[in-house]
Amino acid sequence: MPDFVIIIIIVVAVGISTLTFVIAMLKMFTRVKSAVEAAGGLEGLKAAYHRAAEDHPARALPAVTPVSKTTTARTLSVIFGFSVLLSCAVGGFFQVRAIRESQLLEAEGVVTNATVVEKKITEDDDGDETYYVTYAFSASSPEAGTQQVQRKESVPYEVFVHVAEGSQIEVIYASSDPKVVRVMAKYEPGRVSYLPGIIGGIVGIVDLLLTMGFFRGYRNAVRLDTEGIMATTTILDLYETSSSDSTTYYVAYTLPDGQQIRHSVLSRVYKTLHVGDAVRIVYLMDNPRIFRPEWE
Is residue 188 within 8 A of residue 173, CB to CB? The reply is no
What single DSSP character describes residue 209?
A: H
Per-domain boundaries in the chain = 101-192, 228-296
Q: Give mean pLDDT in consecutive 10-residue pieces for the chain, a chain of 296 residues.
A: 51 58 61 64 63 52 52 78 84 89 90 93 84 91 79 91 91 90 88 84 84 82 86 90 82 85 85 91 85 79
pLDDT of residue 59: 47
CATH architecture of the region 228-296: Beta Barrel (2.40)
Q: What is the pTM of this model?
A: 0.58
pLDDT of residue 289: 78
pLDDT of residue 235: 92
Q: How many CA atoms lie within 13 A of 160 on its CB side?
A: 16
Q: At the top level of CATH, which class does the domain 101-192 belong to?
A: mainly beta
Is residue 175 within 8 A of residue 110, CB to CB? The reply is yes
pLDDT of residue 38: 65
pLDDT of residue 265: 84
228-296 shares the fold of 101-192: yes
- 6 φ/ψ sector (left φ>0, alpha ψ -120 to 50, else beta): alpha
Alpha-helical (H) ranges within 56-163 are: 70-108, 157-161
For the chain, the distance separating the N- and C-terminal CA atoms, rounded to the nearest angstrom, is: 43
Coil, helix or strand at residue 158: helix
pLDDT of residue 20: 61
